[in-house]
Every structure is written in structure tokens, then in C-alpha cells.
Structure 1
Amino acid sequence: MVNSVKEWKSIDEQIALIRGRGMIVDDEEQAQHLLRRVGYYRLSGYWYPFRQFDADGQRADNFIDGSQFQDVVSLYLFDRKLRLLALDAIERIELSIQVEIAHMLGCRDPYAHENPDELHGYFTKKKMRSGETLHYRWLEGFHALVRRSKRKPFVAHNLDKYGRLPIWAAIEVFDFGTMSKLYAGLKITDKIAIEKQFGLNEGKHLQAWLRSLNFIRNTSAHQSRLWNCNVLERASVPRSKLQLNQLINSRPFLYFCIMQTMMQVVCPNSSWKCRFLDLLTTFPHVENGAIQLGDMGVVDGWENWNLWK
């Protein structure tokens, strides 16, 4: 049976509703502004942790005693800055990996990204249920990106002169997902050569890291809640990285540690680490304990790790 959709409510009615459920709203003008510009539905993801549990362990509608709308606002602003930091790091990592791929493949074949002999056999030969290979599916997506970018001067030049894009030009039309899927299709020896720069040597971890960072990127780019999200594309870390192995791979903090691990290589003089550390000091401390940094996956003593010094 399909339930009836909830009734539309005005901004004042929305404020009355959350007040009636126990939310303290001291600054009504601020609440009106946020509900109008950000929206009730989006903000509800930030006040969700402030909701009480019922007898069955499910979230009830009423809020925990002492829940304040100002804390919800502070959490929303913290998360917004966190998303921007994630996008900043991932953009730099993306560019670096793209260039590494182009440099490695281009020295063997300018069109290696289209040449099955230059890629892993699983990527180019093993067929999916559809009868297509992963490489064929990847090429479809890549060619769609080329068509979308055909008016860009460098794309038009290469297509007019050569009929297709060499790898060093092709990377300029990649999105993060296209790049990470091509990386997954590299030969093991090529993966290991790139991984070594980041202290990895098994040819499998960076592939998973890139998938996870793509998830974080998409979450951030679509203004979705990041700080305590359930990361669906979960990465593994080598056993040798003992500190990272303490972290939960379904929470974002591990992936910020991975970003910092990679940023040390791709952008060693960046202020990104300091900006991240400064941001964590602004995490709202609420008296009723409804939220804490541990919900992000942070563990005790992390600030003493060499990674963050």
C-alpha cells in the first residue's frame, strides 16, 4: 500500500514543527533564512543525529533534550567546508594520476587507451553478461566525452588532424570516473609503477582508493552530506599502514587520510593539511552529545600520527 505524501508546509509551519518536536530555535530569522535557502529536506539530514531513539532502537520524530537549531547550522557549515576541502584535494589527485597514466602509456603507444594489447586482459577480453568487455564499455563512455567536448580547440584540432585523441590529449576530457576506470584496466606492472609513488606496491590498493575518492567526490559535488556519510565504495589499505588500518572504511575520515597520503606526493607544499586540521577544530561541540567527531570515523590520537604532523 502506498502512503499519502506529506502535506506542504510554509517556512513558519516548518519552524513550528521542529519546535514542537523539541528543537530549540533561538534565532527565528536565521532559521527562516536557512530553511528558505537550504531547504527543510536537506537540513533534516543534519538534525537527524539529534533525534531520539524509540523503544525499538529506531529514530523517533522528537529531538534529544537540549537540541539546538544553531548546532544544526554549525554542523551544516562544517560539512560544507569539508566538502570543499575534499574537492580541492581530489582535483589535484585526479590531475596527477591522469598525467601519470598518459606519461606511462603514451611512451609505448599514443593511442594505448584504445589498444587492448596495452591494457590488462581482464579489462579487454573478459565479457560481461551483456557480451561487452569492460574496455568496450569504457570506450563508449570516453567517446561520449569526446563528442561532448568536440568544440574545444584542442579536441577539434586532434580530430581534424589525426581522427582521434592521443592519450595525452584524451586525459583532458576525462572525468574522475573515466580516469579511475582506465586505471583499473592498466596492466599490473603499470599499476605497481604508479602505486610506488604513494608507498604502495601490490598493484591493487590505489585502484580501490580511486573508486572511493570518486564516491567522495560525487557526494561533495552534489552537495550531499559528507561528514558522517556511509561510504559505499570502500577501500582497503596495506597491512603495513598500521594507523590507517585502525579506521573504519565506511566512514569519511579514512578517505581524508588517504587524500593526505596522496597530497604529500602530488602537492607537498600545499596548505591543504593545515586547512583540514583547522576545520576539525571547528566541529560543533554539543552539550547533549548528539554528534561527535567519532561519527566521522575519527579515532583517539589521530592528531599525533606523522601523517598529520
Structure 2
Amino acid sequence: MAYDRPWKSFEEQLELLRSRGLQVSDEQAALRCLERIGYYRLSAYWYPFRVFRHVQDPGTHALTTVRTDEFVRDTHFSDAYELYLFDKKLRLLVLDAMERIEIALRVDAAYELGRSGAFAHLGTEALHAVASKTNRRTGRTRYEEWRSRFDSLLDRSKEDFVEHYRERHGADLPIWVAVEVMDFGSVSQLFSMMKVSALRNIADKYGVPDTRVLLGWLRSLNYLRNLAAHHSRLWNRNVIDQPVLCGPSELEWCDAFIGQPSLVAKPFLLLAIARHMLRALFPETRWAAQVAEHLNHFPRQQSSRKLSLTDMGAPDGWEAWWTRK
């Protein structure tokens, strides 16, 4: 279907929202929001306030639920804007955690692989046999795919230390230097090719009982990091790369999510994983307390449809274990 929606001025955009039932108490403030943030980005935050309709298929008579362009009663422009501000601060808190976790994981990769040699990452000898497994779709091994990504990151790097090292020692960077040009995704992929003994050492450091769980967490944290870094909506997103859970009673806080697919599919679990990893690295960190304080100031809505932390996958009683040491 060809896209045929015309360009609209900010005033026309606001009038369209009003015609659909969105209340605007401060027109100038709403216009400034549209000018600075944009209709499309804000639409992600007023989307939950749109009206549902049940539609019957004329052939099968089956009922389906569709979301209309209309807004539920008493929904205000400020309801969406306050959600946007809440989400913005949440992303900043996530980025703070991801920076510290990512840097620590780089050290972990360098330390464990470095045991086998300074250039252990430039071949598969120091890696698990899975590194040589071929991807049927691409025809390349997992290591070849990772190496292509790493080489691309290295070629694009503008860091002075890369040029300085190459001038003095040659093209190949030792693993403890190479990790500094890797992004979270490439570090996560490198972890997935490590030998079990190395992964076990790292899992023990973070108090994760299963290396499979650790690898699943790293994939999910990379997804979380990318959402926050690209300013994407976070608070109630359906998580694509869902994490692996520990078994019952292996981690007390994790039990709240076992057997709860609707919670596993939401971002609160990813925040809980970040909390766990940070606690292992920095036992005295106040990050969890800062997040709890922010969550407890979830914006109130004037709309007749009330949203809450439940929409982001917070389990009942999460406060009891969230700040516990």
C-alpha cells in the first residue's frame, strides 16, 4: 500500500489529535513538544491510550480486537508527555548501568582469553568448538562472522591508541587492547564462543549459576543497551531477545519471573538482570535505589485508562527484594 499521508504543520498535527479526543490544556506547551520531540516519537507514548474496538469477521464471525485512532475518555496530551519524560530518565539510568557492565565484560573477556595468549582472539584454537560451527544461511562459521564484525569496528575506530599501537607494534592488537574497540554486541558474541571453563569463571564472578543463563543475559543486555542508546521507547516495550531464567531457587529474585511469560516479555526483568550484574561488580552501588525511586514516581494519568509499572512487567512485591543486599 502506497503511503499517502500529507505533510502537516505542527498546528495541524495538534488539531488532528484534538479531533480524535485528546485533551490539550496548554496549547503552546503542546506545540513546543511537537516541535522539539516530534509527532511520531510522541505517538509511542499516547498509543496505549487509544480506544479498542471488537470487530467481527463477516465470514468466520470471529472477533478480533483493533486499536482505533480515538483516545479514551479524559486522556490529556500531558499524559503522553509525562510518560515520555519518565522513559527518558529510565533510559539514562540504563545507560549508566550498561557503561559499567560493558567495560567490566571487556576486562573479563581479555583476562580469560589472555590466559591462552595475547592474540587468542585472532584464531579459534583458544575458543570452544562451537566457534567453527557453520551458519547454513551465510555459509560462514560463527568465528568468521564475529571476526568480520570485529575487523569492521577496528577499521572504523578513530581512537588514538589504535594508531599509536599499530605504529609501534604492527597491525594486530592483543586481546586486552582489542576489547577497547569492541561494542557490547561483539563482546557478547565473543563470550558465546569461549570455552566452558572460562565462562564458568566469569559466571562465578557475577553469581550466575549457569553459563547458559549468563550468555542469555548478555544477549538481552545488549538488546537493552541498544534500546537506550538509540533513544527508543523502553518502559513497556515487548522484549524481542528475551533472557534465559535460572532454575527455581537458584536466584531468589529470579523466582518471581519463572512461569510468567508475560513478565519475561517485558523490560523490568532486564532491569533486574542489570541490577544483579552491578551488585556483583559494585556491592555498594546505589543504582538499584535510584531506579526504585524513579519507578515509584511513575506518572499519574488524567486519562480514564490507568497505566502502571505492571505494564512494564514489574512482578507483585518487587520492592521487597529490589533494594535488598
* Same fold at TM > 0.5: yes
- Amino acid across the alignment from 1:270: T
Aligned pairs for 1:1-309 within 5 A: 2-56=1-55, 57-123=65-131, 125-129=132-136, 130-149=138-157, 151-160=158-167, 161-239=169-247, 240-247=250-257, 248-287=263-302, 288-305=304-321, 307-308=323-324
What is the CA-CA distance between 1:307 and the residue it aligns to? 4.8
Question: Which 5+ residue runs of structure 2 have no aligned equivalent?
Answer: 56-64, 258-262
Aligned residue number for residue 59 of structure 2:
none
- Amino acid across the alignment from 2:298: F
- Amino acid across the alignment from 2:139: G
Task: Using structure 2 for the length normalisation, give the TM-score.
Answer: 0.90
Kept after mapping to 2: 8 A contact 1:189/1:203: no
What is the CA-CA distance between 1:4 and the residue it aligns to? 4.1
What is the CA-CA distance between 1:308 and the residue it aligns to? 4.6
What is the CA-CA distance between 1:285 and the residue it aligns to? 2.1
CA RMSD of the aligned region, Å? 1.5
Query: Aligned equivalents of 1:230 and 1:279: distance in 2?
Result: 21
Question: Which 5+ residue runs of structure 1 have no aligned equivalent?
Answer: none
| Structure-2 change in CA distance of 1:174 and 1:205 (3 Å) | same
SS of corresponding position for 1:117: coil
SS of corresponding position for 2:211: coil
- Amino acid across the alignment from 2:80: V
- Amino acid across the alignment from 1:244: C
Query: Aligned equivalents of 1:217 and 1:250: distance in 2?
Result: 16
Query: Aligned equivalents of 1:301 and 1:246: distance in 2?
Result: 9
What is the CA-CA distance between 1:12 and the residue it aligns to? 1.0
SS of corresponding position for 2:232: coil
Query: Aligned equivalents of 2:2 and 2:140: distance in 1?
Result: 41
SS of corresponding position for 1:55: strand
* Greater than 4 Å deviation, 4+ residue runs: 306-309
Task: Using structure 1 for the length normalisation, give the TM-score.
Answer: 0.95
Query: Aligned equivalents of 1:122 and 1:153: distance in 2?
Result: 34
